[in-house]
Amino acid sequence: MSIDRTLTTDREEAVTEEVLASFDATPDPRLREIMHSLVEHLHAFARDVRLSEREWEVAIGFLTRAGHITDQRRQEFILLSDVLGLSMLTIAINEPREPGATESTVFGPFFVDTAPEVPLGGDIARGAAGIPCYVSGQVRSVTGVPIEGARIEVWEADEDGFYDVQYPDGRSAGRGWLRSGHDGEYRFRSILPAPYPIPHDGPVGDLLAATARGPMRPAHLHFMVTAPGYRTLITHIFVAGDPYLDSDAVFGVKQNLVVDVVSHDAVDPTPDGTRSERGWTSIDFDLVLAAHDGS
Ligand code: BEZ
Ligand code: FE
């Protein structure tokens, strides 16, 4: 190693040591651990890529734009976490260890906590465009105990790939919540989900374009299931055969969340007796909740 290189390395290490030491007196031991590790990894990253001052400025500009586009309705930092796989990594780290529980995936930005209640067997599409899809299954524990009265929130995009909140007219469609019945059974009418792009008109979209990555998510139906004594389940089901299953922009696909959709002819009677000229579809999927204590 040349003398100059030794000098540079010494200077770099001195900065890292000084910053690490600045967090030594952090009273909360967990915060101290996190800040130490963050500084170590952040500095190692900058050294690894030999970060230029111009690149540092570009990164600051990127974060500034992410801040400016973020408001009550748009959260660009979560989107950034999603496309970097940090959201799914955090979910994997915190997944319950109970084998057999339905796996979790990303929450996404389109949940609304004021969706209407629908009765068991009711319609959550509520006018959203798409081929009818009747979804049913059972909410149960990993040991097979039916869970009655679980609150099941469902939300989805329409066949054009838009959630209701993405339309300017204030509509509420493609979302609702219901309770599981006596044997944990649930059923509702919805529409067959379609693939759609994540919001890509901001800095995260620019990052995807600059790295030759696409913004598409495979077709899916979101669920959030809560029941006393059980861990809240946030997940989606994905449609088998979707062309984007292997390239989800936010890495949310898990094999056991991919479900077969059964197609039915228009002449076949639907579960609720309504008719659909375009035919209809059905999905059967059990929602298996992990107990709170992980047992
Ligand atoms: C969604 O599925 O709604 C979603 C998830 C992550 C980022 C953007 C959208
Ligand atoms: Fe979604």
Among protein residues, the one whose CA lies closest to atom 2 of ligand 1: 108
DSSP state of 165: G
| One domain for residues 39 and 102 | no
pLDDT of residue 295: 44
Among protein residues, the one whose CA lies closest to atom 6 of ligand 1: 108
| One domain for residues 144 and 194 | yes
| One domain for residues 44 and 105 | no
Domain residues for the domain of 13 are: 3-51
| One domain for residues 142 and 42 | no
Query: Is 4's pLDDT higher than 80?
Result: no
Residue 68 counted as domain residue: no
Residue 71 counted as domain residue: no
| One domain for residues 162 and 210 | yes
Atom of ligand 1 lying closest to residue 108 CA: 5
Q: Is residue 242 within 6 Å of ligand 1 at its C-beta? A: no
Phi, psi of 224 (to 5 degrees): -130, 120
Q: Is residue 217 within 6 Å of ligand 1 at its C-beta? A: yes
| One domain for residues 47 and 84 | no
| One domain for residues 24 and 90 | no
Q: Is residue 106 within 6 Å of ligand 1 at its C-beta? A: yes
Write out pLDDT tens, residues 78-115.
999 999 999 999 999 998 778 899 999 999 999 999 99
| One domain for residues 279 and 201 | yes
CA 47 to chain CA centroid, Å, is: 32
> What CATH code is carried by the domain that includes residue 243?
2.60.130.10
Query: Is 1's pLDDT higher than 70?
Result: no
Residue whose C-alpha is closest to residue 188's, from 202, 199, 177: 177
| One domain for residues 8 and 151 | no
Residue 108 counted as domain residue: yes
Residue 63 counted as domain residue: no
Residue 59 counted as domain residue: no
| One domain for residues 148 and 241 | yes
User: Based on the structure, what is the number of domains in the chain?
Assistant: 2
Write out pLDDT tens, residues 23-79.
999 999 999 999 999 999 999 999 999 999 999 999 999 999 999 999 988 999 999
- 195 CA distance to ligand 2 centroid (A)? 9
CB neighbour class for 29 (10 Å; exposed up to 12, middle 13-18, buried from 19): exposed
Write out pLDDT tens, residues 226-281.
999 999 999 999 999 999 999 999 999 999 999 999 999 999 999 998 888 899 99
| Token pair of 207 as six digits | 């990052």
Question: Which H or E run contains 186?
Answer: strand 185-191
- 178 CA distance to ligand 1 centroid (A)? 22
Contact at 8 Å (CB) between 47 and 66? no
Angstrom CA distances, 267 to 190, 262, 273, stand at 19, 15, 11
Query: Is 177's pLDDT higher than 50?
Result: yes
Residue 154 counted as domain residue: yes
117, β-bridge pairs: 177
Distance CA 40, CA 202 (A): 30
| One domain for residues 181 and 38 | no
Q: Is residue 79 within 6 Å of ligand 1 at its C-beta? A: yes
| One domain for residues 250 and 114 | yes
Residue 204 counted as domain residue: yes
